Every structure is written in structure tokens, then in C-alpha cells.
């Protein structure tokens, strides 16, 4: 079965001096062409998320207020800083729709796996607040879309270097969505402590893995083995969704984790294996962060090679510069496993 992509480069949602700018998706597209990946993928057309789809996660008053604030653009709507242009609402609607389209492709059997290469990103946007370069919660909307189309249980893995606070907020009390976030401890948005495990009926369905600076390929190999695999086996999802942020790459300017391009290949290969084992291979990825253009582009390409079942391609960017703090990583995983009975 093919692997699909849906791209939303959103050239009108742009700010030249900002790391989350309109050059990001074209940088990926150039490598898809030069590597030969482009012709091996099924290309899906995005469509805007409808008001009914958006209000599965965001209250109507939030959607209306966000549309209204475009009248004040260009400007900033939070201190991350999250910028808006007059076209940002339409771009965000299309980005969310791109994520929904990826879910549809996987559920309808058009593709085994799909990757929504969309922006603006989504995982910091809570149901009621735009923040952290994010306007709509693309991932939460994708999960609710899957549930509306018959998936009872959805597992989300968020490997962006920042905590996926917005996705967490959408499902904190909901046992039907297992949310697992890996992130660098102590950076923006300052949430994602191990003790944040969900509330009410959702207790235990939120898993946070805050990592020390320097964690990289070895850490993520252990996370797959020690947390993601047993959590998936226990939860038995109908669909695996991934918030794919590439700002945990060692070259990324915004944070200090150390995944390599090859490390992303291995991580996505592992996630593909989990999807094949537990949910018929159904796997959809949605782009989040990633602010070093070369690291972003090569790591997305490496992820697509993994989804296609290819051998790893050569890694032109090389391995991380510093050793990983392995003892601290193991201590973190030991505590997380204890908290969650894994
Ligand atoms: Zn990020």
C-alpha cells in the first residue's frame, strides 16, 4: 500500500524573522524532489477544516474570535511570539484540514501511512487559546476526526522537542485517547511534568516523558522499547497518530536534544512497526516544529523512507556532537514506567 503526503506550505502565513516561516515546507519539498521520494508518494489535496470539524475541539466562540482578530493583522496574538497575517485564519483552517485529509487517507485505505506536511503547527494550541506558533490544534482535530469515522481508541505520540500542551489539554480527562509526549524538560511551554498523567476518567491516559538536555538517538531507542511498545500493547489503539516535530534534532536552534537524521528514521520505523502490530499499520503523522531547514528537510525525508520500508539513506548531517546523559535518561524512564505501571 502506498504512503501519502498532503502539503500545506501556507506562503501567506509568513514572518521573515520568525523560525516558523513560509520557507519550511518548500525546504522539505526540494529534498523530496532531489531524493526521488516525491514520485514514490501518493499526493493528496488538502481542504479546509469545516466549522463543524473545528468545533469538535475548539468552542465556536474561539473559532469566531480567531477569525475576527485577523482584522488586526499583521501582529502578534501571544508572547511566544505567535504572529498573524490577514490570511492566517485561512492557512490554519487548511493546515487542520490537511491533518484531517491524512487521517481519511489512512482510514479509507488510500494509503497505509500518511504525512501531513502542514503549517502553522498545532500542538501548543489548546481548545481555547492560540499559543506557541499554533492557531488550531491540528492533532486533536485529527484524533476527533478519526473517532467520528469509527476509531474508538486513538494513540498519539508527540516527539516534538516541546511539550504538546494543547493536545494534552484536549484529552486530559478522556480515556479514549492515549497521549504520550517526549520533550526537553524545563523549556517552553514549561508543562509536561511526569506527574501530569490525566484526570478523572482520563487518569493514566496522558504520559509525559520530560528528557534532560542532550538526550538523542539512544534515548529514543529506549523510549520505544520501554514505554511506547508496552503502552501500545496495553492500549490497543485503532489508529496511531504522530505529532512529528523535528526540533529535537541536534542542529535545531530552539532546543538542546540531540536526535540525528538517522535517529528520526529509526524512531519512525519503530512507530510504523507498532502501528503494524496493533492497528493494521494505520499511521498518520502531522508536522509540528523543526527550525533548522536542513535538519527539518533531511529528517522528514528520513521519516518517509521509514514509512516506505526503505533502508536508511545516507545522513549528510552526521551524528550528534555530545554524549547522551544515559543514566539520567534511564532514571526518567524508570520513574515514568513506575507511574504508569509499564
Ligand atoms: Zn517544538
CATH, residue 178: 3.40.800.20
CA of 113 to the centre of ligand 1 (A): 22
CA of 158 to the centre of ligand 1 (A): 10
**E strands, 186-238, where?**
206-211
For 286, list phi and psi in degrees, rounded to 5. Answer: -130, 130
CA of 244 to the centre of ligand 1 (A): 9
Q: Which helix (H) or strand (E) holds 225?
A: none
Catalytic residue among 124, 162, 183, 298: 124
Closest CA to 153 of 31, 278, 24, 49: 278
Domain count, the chain: 1
Can 79 be counted among the known catalytic residues? Answer: no
pLDDT at 16: 87
pLDDT at 241: 99
| Beta-carbon neighbours within 5 Å of ion ligand 1 | 160, 162, 245, 247, 289
CA of 185 to the centre of ligand 1 (A): 12
- Residue 341 CA to residue 319 CA, distance in Å, equals 33
Closest CA to 161 of 214, 116, 92, 204: 214
CA of 89 to the centre of ligand 1 (A): 21
Number of neighbours of residue 297 by Cβ within 10 angstroms: 24
**E strands, 67-213, where?**
75-78, 82-84, 113-118, 154-158, 177-184, 206-211
- Residue 251 CA to residue 267 CA, distance in Å, equals 17
Give pLDDT tens digits along the chain (342 positions): 899 999 999 999 999 899 999 999 999 999 999 999 999 999 999 999 999 999 999 999 999 999 999 999 999 999 899 999 999 999 999 999 999 999 999 999 999 999 999 999 999 999 999 999 999 999 999 999 999 999 999 999 999 999 999 999 999 999 999 999 999 999 999 999 999 999 999 999 999 999 999 999 999 999 999 999 999 999 999 999 999 999 999 999 999 999 999 999 999 999 999 999 999 999 999 999 999 999 999 999 999 999 999 999 899 999 999 999 999 999 999 999 999 999
> CA–CA distance from 2 to each of 43, 105, 174, 281, 308 (Å)?
10, 10, 32, 12, 8
CA of 280 to the centre of ligand 1 (A): 29
| Numbers of helices and strands, H then E, in the chain | 11, 10
Domain that holds residue 93: 3-340
Partnered with residue 209 across adjacent β-strands are: 182
pLDDT at 313: 87
Please list, in sequence order, all residues whose beta carbon lies within 8 angstroms of the beta carbon of residue 91, skipping any fewer than 6 positions away.
Answer: 8, 10, 12, 13, 119, 120
CA of 290 to the centre of ligand 1 (A): 7
- Residue 216 CA to residue 324 CA, distance in Å, equals 6
CA of 19 to the centre of ligand 1 (A): 11
- Residue 231 CA to residue 178 CA, distance in Å, equals 9
For 13, list phi and psi in degrees, rounded to 5. Answer: -100, 90
pTM of the model: 0.98
Cell of 292: 533548522
Amino acid at each position: 500500500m502506498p504512503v501519502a503526503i498532503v502539503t500545506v506550505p501556507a506562503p501567506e502565513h509568513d514572518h521573515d524573522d520568525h523560525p516558523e516561516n513560509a520557507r519550511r515546507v518548500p525546504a522539505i519539498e526540494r529534498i523530496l524532489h532531489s531524493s526521488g521520494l516525491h514520485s514514490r508518494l501518493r499526493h493528496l489535496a488538502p481542504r479546509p477544516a469545516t466549522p463543524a470539524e473545528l468545533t469538535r475541539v475548539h468552542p465556536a466562540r474561539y473559532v469566531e474570535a480567531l477569525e475576527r482578530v485577523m482584522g488586526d493583522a499583521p501582529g502578534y496574538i501571544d508572547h511566544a511570539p505567535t504572529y498573524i497575517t490577514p490570511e492566517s485564519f485561512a492557512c490554519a483552517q487548511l493546515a487542520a484540514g490537511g491533518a484531517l485529509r491524512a487521517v481519511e487517507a489512512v482510514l479509507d485505505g488510500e494509503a497505509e501511512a500518511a504525512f501531513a506536511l502542514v503549517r502553522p503547527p498545532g500542538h501548543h494550541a489548546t481548545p481555547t487559546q492560540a499559543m506557541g506558533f499554533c492557531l488550531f490544534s491540528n492533532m486533536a482535530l485529527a484524533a476527533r476526526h478519526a473517532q467520528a469515522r469509527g476509531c474508538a481508541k486513538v494513540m498519539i505520540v508527540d516527539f516534538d522537542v516541546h511539550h504538546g500542551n494543547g493536545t494534552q489539554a484536549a484529552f486530559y480527562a478522556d480515556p479514549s485517547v492515549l497521549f504520550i509526549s517526549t520533550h526537553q524538560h524545563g523549556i517552553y511551554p514549561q508543562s509536561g511534568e511526569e506527574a501530569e498523567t490525566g484526570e478523572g476518567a482520563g487518569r493514566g491516559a496522558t504520559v509525559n516523558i520530560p528528557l534532560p538536555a542532550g538526550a538523542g538517538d539512544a534515548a529514543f531507542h529506549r523510549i520505544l522499547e520501554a514505554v511506547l511498545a508496552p503502552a501500545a500493547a496495553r492500549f490497543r489503539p485503532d489508529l496511531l497518530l504522530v505529532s512529528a516535530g523535528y526540533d529535537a534534532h541536534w542542529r535545531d536552534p530552539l532546543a538542546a536534544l540531540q536526535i540525528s537524521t538517522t535517529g528520526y528514521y529509526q524512531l519512525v520505523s519503530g512507530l510504523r512497526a507498532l502501528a503494524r502490530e496493533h492497528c493494521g499499520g494505520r499511521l498518520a503523522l502531522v508536522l509540528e516544529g523543526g527550525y533548522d531547514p536542513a535538519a527539518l528537510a533531511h529528517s522528514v525525508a528520513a521519516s518517509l523512507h521509514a514509512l516506505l520500508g526503505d533502508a536508511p539513506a545516507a545522513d549528510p548531517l552526521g551524528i550528534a556532537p555530545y554524549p547522551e546523559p544515559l543514566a539520567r535518561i534511564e532514571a526518567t524512564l524508570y520513574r515514568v514506567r513506575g507511574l504508569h505501571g509499564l
